[in-house]
């Protein structure tokens, strides 16, 4: 059951900043070995193959004791990682990858294995839209009497917090974009931070449901979600990642109209209130832009977020690069 993993450089760079994260990296190979032994797993990699890596963890294809294919995921313990097994248990395999086992101490998940060669990123956007829309509908489940719901953060609370935080962050980063765009985001937050707190329409939302986080289920034509980051609120909050990804697929001429058309098509496929979905996209991309400016002033990532936010707000900022010159998200 022993398996030694070479920590890739991107993962090392991501987790070298604090003693806690460096300690996790040092223990990661032992955590993997413990999980393999605990669940009686066999690593299912070709001789020259290597596990998949993200910025916060590693995913290893494995075989369970009965020979069934599975995936072992270990992530640095943080808020989103703690919520992933909670969300997966609430979905219980309806639209999202099925959780087979979970060890909180190791921050390890045993998951049903999906086909990573069949993501929505490999489909033309027009073909991906109806698949994405149907998946969102499956994932949009409302709270019931299960205790896990108490752990899911509320979008209304986030919006209320943004009302105070976004103006302060905008000032502290030297007002890096026009006030009208900040106010467009704040108007949404002020409305739903107060009114939407106890909405009967609130559902579990996968907030990072971009094209690469939707994979095919082996032996079927189904597509399921992976890597959930979740909140409880408007389903429309899910739209934004499909707008800030695949900008290179927009038409060269009038990409702004192309993005708005894409937002409309995705909203229709998912049964969204189109205006609300676009408004939440403005909020999310304004917050993303401020985050990027806080990390690196005038960064290319911030320009991408501002282009999407201002385009969704109806007035693309004229000093930004054209869509196809923006940095693709990494």
Q: For residue 234, give the DSSP letter.
A: -
Tokens of 150: 């108490």
Say which residue the tokens 């290319």 belong to.
300
Report whether 330 contacts 210 (CB < 8 A).
Answer: no
Rounded Cα distance between 48 and 222, Å, is 30
Report whether 259 contacts 127 (CB < 8 A).
Answer: no
The residues that bridge with 59 in the sheet, in sequence order, are 52, 73
The residues that bridge with 62 in the sheet, in sequence order, are 43, 70
The length of the chain in residues reads: 330
Instruction: Name the phi and psi angles at 100, rounded to 5.
Output: -95, -35
Please give the C-alpha separations between residue 267 and each of 31, 154, 272, 273, 281, in angstroms, as whole numbers.
41, 22, 5, 7, 12
Which of 103, 115, 208, 249 is flagged as catalytic?
Answer: 208
Pairing of strands 108-112, 203-206: unpaired
208 is a catalytic site residue: yes
Q: Which residue, among 97, 95, 98, 96, has the nearest Cα to 134 in the 3D structure? A: 95
Which residues are known catalytic residues? 208
């Amino acid at each position: 059951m022993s398996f030694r993993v070479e920590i890739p450089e991107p993962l090392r760079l991501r987790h070298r900043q604090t003693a806690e994260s460096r300690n996790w990296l040092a223990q990661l190979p032992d955590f993997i070995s413990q999980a393999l032994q605990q669940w009686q797993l066999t690593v299912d990699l070709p001789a020259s193959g290597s596990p998949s890596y993200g910025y916060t963890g590693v995913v290893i294809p494995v075989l369970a004791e009965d020979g069934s294919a599975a995936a072992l995921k270990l992530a640095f313990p943080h808020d989103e990682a703690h919520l992933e097994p909670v969300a997966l248990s609430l979905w219980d395999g309806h639209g999202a990858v099925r959780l087979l086992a979970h060890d909180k101490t190791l921050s390890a998940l045993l998951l049903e294995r999906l086909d990573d060669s069949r993501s929505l990123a490999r489909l033309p956007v027009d073909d991906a839209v109806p698949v994405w829309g149907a998946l969102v509908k499956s994932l949009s489940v409302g709270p019931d009497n299960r205790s896990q719901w108490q752990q899911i953060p509320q979008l209304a609370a986030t919006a209320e917090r943004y009302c105070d935080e976004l103006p302060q962050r905008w000032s502290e980063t030297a007002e890096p974009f026009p006030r009208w765009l900040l106010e467009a985001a704040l108007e949404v937050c002020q409305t739903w931070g107060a009114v939407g707190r106890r909405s009967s329409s609130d559902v579990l939302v996968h907030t990072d449901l971009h094209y690469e986080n939707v994979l095919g289920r082996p032996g079927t034509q189904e597509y399921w979600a992976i890597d959930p980051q979740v909140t409880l609120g408007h389903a429309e909050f899910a739209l934004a990642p499909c707008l800030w990804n695949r900008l290179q697929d927009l038409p060269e001429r009038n990409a702004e109209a192309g993005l708005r058309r894409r937002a409309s098509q995705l909203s229709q496929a998912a049964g969204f209130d189109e205006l609300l979905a676009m408004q939440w996209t403005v909020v999310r991309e304004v917050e993303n832009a401020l985050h990027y400016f806080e990390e690196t002033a005038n960064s290319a990532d911030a320009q991408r977020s501002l282009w999407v936010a201002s385009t969704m707000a109806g007035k693309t900022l004229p000093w930004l690069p054209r869509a196809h010159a923006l940095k693709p998200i990494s």
